[in-house]
């Protein structure tokens, strides 16, 4: 199963990502340096994130999954730095 998911961080910001293997233990490849700026050392002591599957397919090609991921990044505006941690596609 291939999925596109949304990660929600404790500050409410989101990250949209894809997983071509549907691994329960995969939480994306958002830029840690960007995320860690939003959290103090104390915040890190008890840190809960939420992962939601927004879309899934057992027949989509990798190209179709990439397209769906980009569509959802734009739909959820997670590439807007005030909303989320995606940096591509570039926010305008």
For the entire predicted model, the pTM comes to: 0.93
Q: Is residue 35 part of a domain?
A: yes
Q: Does pLDDT of 12 surpass 90? A: yes
Q: Is residue 86 part of a domain?
A: no
What gap in Å lies between CA 16 and CA 86, rounded to an integer? Answer: 7
Judge whether 5 and 19 are in contact, CB under 8 Å.
yes
Place of tokens 């995969």: 26
Q: Is residue 87 part of a domain?
A: no
Q: Is residue 92 part of a domain?
A: no
**Structural domain boundaries enclosing 31:** 2-76
Contacts of 66 (CB under 8 A, 6+ apart): 18
Q: Is residue 63 part of a domain?
A: yes
Q: Is residue 62 part of a domain?
A: yes
pLDDT of res. 91: 84
pLDDT of res. 92: 80
Q: Is residue 82 part of a domain?
A: no
**What does the pLDDT average to over 42-54?**
96
Q: Is residue 55 part of a domain?
A: yes
pLDDT of res. 82: 97
The number of distinct structural domains making up the chain is 1
**What does the pLDDT average to over 10-26?**
95
């Amino acid at each position: 199963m291939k999925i596109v998911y949304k990660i929600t961080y404790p500050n409410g910001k989101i990250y949209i990502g894809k997983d071509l293997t549907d691994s329960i233990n995969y939480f994306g490849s958002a830029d840690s340096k960007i995320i860690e700026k939003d959290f103090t050392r104390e915040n890190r002591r008890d840190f809960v994130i939420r992962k939601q599957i927004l879309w899934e397919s057992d027949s989509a090609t990798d190209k179709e999954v990439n397209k769906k991921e980009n569509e959802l990044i734009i739909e959820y505006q997670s590439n807007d730095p005030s909303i989320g941690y995606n940096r591509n596609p570039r926010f305008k």
